[in-house]
Amino acid sequence: MHMNTALLALILLAGVGVSGPLSAVAGDRQKPPAKAKSAAAAKALENYRMTCQVCHGPAGKGMLPGSDLTIGTWKHGSTIPAIAKTISEGVPGTAMLPAKDRFTKAEILELAKLARSFDKKAAARKPAVKK
């Protein structure tokens, strides 16, 4: 069994949630995202908490190597479309499994937006919208 897969299996089998002992690894200081502003964003937050949070943590800081969503530039792409593709297809050889059979394309897009929002520096770099 691949090391990352074995680690993920161990985490899931142990039933360790982010409020359990593993939360100390990433720090109990992680604050989850604020309340959602739309029904789609609320569903994304629910999906994140149920599926993604075990590896990425409540605030996206990551519980496993390579799972920190707050670092700005990501190995598999930092744009919303690239993130959506990664969520949809997963990353072979890692704990990041494909989600295309679990979520709709719209839900994956909302998860990508949520994931991107964990990087506050990226939000600050967005150009101002001209009116």
Helix orientation angle between 105-117 and 39-47, rounded to the nearest 10 degrees: 80
Options 1.10.760.10, 3.40.50.300, 1.10.20.10, 3.50.50.60; CATH for 3-121 is 1.10.760.10
**Span 125-129, mean pLDDT?**
53
pLDDT at 26 over 50: no
* Cβ partners under 8 Å of residue 42, min gap 6: 35, 36
**What b/e readout covers 2-29, taking b as 16+ CB neighbours within 10 angstroms?**
eebeebbeebeeeebebeeebbeebeee
Q: Which residue has the higher pLDDT, 88 or 130?
A: 88
DSSP 8-class letter at 90: -
User: In the prediction, which pLDDT does 66 show?
Assistant: 87
Kindly list the domain boundaries of the chain, sorted by start residue.
3-121
User: In the prediction, which pLDDT does 35 show?
Assistant: 66
Q: What is the pTM of this model?
A: 0.69
Q: How confident is the model at residue 22 (pLDDT cuts 50, 70, 90)?
A: very low
* Cβ partners under 8 Å of residue 32, min gap 6: 49, 58, 59
User: In the prediction, which pLDDT does 72 show?
Assistant: 79
Question: Whose structure tokens read 């297809």?
Answer: 89
User: In the prediction, which pLDDT does 32 show?
Assistant: 56
Q: Which residue has the higher pLDDT, 128 or 119?
A: 119
